Amino acid sequence: SKAVSVFGKIVQKSTEPNDYRILAILLDGSRKTTEAIAILDTAEVRFGRIPLLGRMRQYYLMKTGKVLAAEAEARKAVAEAPYLADNQIALAEIYWLTKRDSLAVASLKEAIAIDTLAVEPWVALGEFYQMRGNKAGYLSTMEVVFANKNYPLKEKMEVWRKLSGDIASYRQFYSQYDAL
């Protein structure tokens, strides 16, 4: 498309990593995901490892079926910055998408251990339990999330609205619903 062509020219002269991110998004939107990966590779060579661009690269690798490459990328990010919970979450997402649940849970618990006050690792763990149909695990995780002052009230109300519509679960998990 014309936008890709124009932005490609801008990126050639750019010293801004964000321009590479935008071009990768445009390429992916034009069904040129492999080229988007190449642009992100170029950005890494020029600017070094940037977590957001690395995460995009992992997503595009998964999207193109290169699961092992995406996992290797995520493991590399964890090795380089083991103190970032987001890296553990990214690795956990690859594990859960590839049905390696015990590794996914271990990575998510590692993310939680890195920053016990952060909301994101707990939300990711809740999403994992929800995707796997583990209602008890989801509710106990959401109890921690709801208790966190950094989790926006609007989000809490949206989650509660979805939960309260399921009467059968409400009856089965009354005490956990009550705790929320």
pLDDT tens, 17-37? 988 898 899 999 999 999 999
The contacts of residue 126 (CB under 8 Å, 6+ apart) are: 138, 141, 142, 145
Per-residue pLDDT reduced to its tens digit, 126-161: 999 999 999 999 999 999 999 999 999 999 999 998
Per-residue pLDDT reduced to its tens digit, 155-169: 999 999 888 888 888
pLDDT value of position 146: 93
End-to-end CA distance of the chain: 49
Token pair, residue 97, equals 């998408």
pLDDT value of position 31: 93
* Residue 1 reports pLDDT greater than 80: no
Token pair, residue 79, equals 């090795």
The contacts of residue 177 (CB under 8 Å, 6+ apart) are: 139, 163, 164, 169, 170
DSSP 8-state class, residue 180: -
Buried b (16+ CB within 10 A) or exposed e, 4-41: beebeeebeebeebebbbbbbebbbeeebbebbbebbe
CB-count burial class (<10 Å; 0-12, 13-18, 19+) for 100: middle
pLDDT value of position 93: 93
pTM: 0.82
Per-residue pLDDT reduced to its tens digit, 88-114: 999 999 999 999 999 999 999 999 999
